[in-house]
Structure 1
């Protein structure tokens, strides 16, 4: 995990000091997640989307008039809800809570004044993994999930002249999040995000 943060920090430093052609923008954002777990196995009753949140900060580094790079650091609560019959006997309703420290590094293309499209990798470090059952119990699941998740983010942002912005983004997981040697299926994080924020 230390290597991951070191590589990310070096990449951001290199971008900001070697390629920047204009003013930086710094800011903060927060919003809603509609998170789910997709893949080969979706539980006995199926896995449904879970509504949660994300919050964090960002910088935007201009490369040209039309292109910029936007690294972010976000605390993102993800996971799913549904039914895992093999984990909980006679329990139908539960939530899998997978909390990540996500580091999106997005390339942005400014389509028109205020509107931009964005695409890039999203690296996630697992902070917490647990399940809340319908009887109020909480089960630690961190040993069942990998500590690093990699996905691809695609979305769009509209920024007002005074600095407020809104954005929509879809993060599609590309790596298997399962880390249980007895579990042969592959699953990925999928997250749709609606955000609001401010840059200056």
Structure 2
């Protein structure tokens, strides 16, 4: 289903680019510092991952334009507990294909602000756990894709700096607005959690 949605978005972006003053393309990659917010998440820690993908910068004037991106993004969270002398470490791994469409404003030479909606399509969802007890370790991996919403939606925004040679740097925060919990049968319907991600990126525009 998400392939159809991506094709629709790509067609819309190509149509918009016909009115652009200038369109450039690029690639980017970087680190993710992700977490899960919402109900009963006080004891949950962040997960460090990465993101990689491509972008198009569509400028309508020298200062204002839009920047759609298509990124593979590793997100999720971690937790650690030590009940009765047992050490339990868990890592929630959520992998998304994300499509942010950002309004971009170049407010000074080299500098820009960007803000806009982002939709994410869930690729994988796993919980990996390790239990340490009396010198022994037991590992387990559980597929959670049936319990995590296939679509994530939120707002993404930040700032960036670009060198004359085309190399650029971005710092961005993503605030998930949709509930990623899809386990409506076992959990109370009021239980809601969402993604939060800090992204630091380096890229190059052609």
Instruction: Give the Cα separation in 1 of the matches to 2:87 and 2:179.
Output: 25
Which 4+ stretches in 1 moved above 6 angstroms? none
Question: What is the correspondence of 1:63-142 to structure 2 with a 5 Å cutoff?
Answer: 63-82=60-79, 92-134=88-130, 135-142=138-145
- So what's the TM-score if we normalise by structure 1? 0.91
Deviation at 1:92, TM superposition (A): 2.7
Q: Spell out, residue by residue over 1:9-30, the C-alpha distance to the aligned partner (whole angstroms, 9 max, x if none).
A: 222122112x2012x2111100
Residues 41 and 186, structure 1, Cα contact 8 Å, conserved in 2? no
1:169 equivalent among 135, 151, 172: 172
The structure with more strand, counted as a fraction of residues: 2
Instruction: Give the Cα separation in 2 of the matches to 1:2 and 1:100.
Output: 13
Instruction: Give the Cα separation in 2 of the matches to 1:47 and 1:11.
Output: 39
Question: What is the correspondence of 1:37-48 to structure 2 with a 5 Å cutoff?
Answer: 37-42=36-41, 46-48=43-45
Deviation at 1:40, TM superposition (A): 1.2
Q: Which runs of 5+ in 1 are unaligned?
A: 85-89
Look up the match of 2:200.
194
Deviation at 1:183, TM superposition (A): 1.8
Instruction: Give the Cα separation in 1 of the matches to 2:164 and 2:80.
Output: 46
Q: CA RMSD in A?
A: 1.5
Q: Which runs of 5+ in 2 are unaligned?
A: 131-137
Instruction: Give the Cα separation in 1 of the matches to 2:11 and 2:87.
Output: 46
Look up the match of 2:135.
none
Instruction: Give the Cα separation in 1 of the matches to 2:139 and 2:114.
Output: 40
- Equivalenced residues, count: 191
Does the alignment pair 1:146 with 2:149? yes
Deviation at 1:6, TM superposition (A): 3.2
Deviation at 1:132, TM superposition (A): 1.1
Does the alignment pair 1:20 with 2:17? no
Q: Spell out, residue by residue over 1:84-125, the C-alpha distance to the aligned partner (whole angstroms, 9 max, x if none).
A: 9xxxxx773100000000001001000111100000011100
Look up the match of 1:8.
9
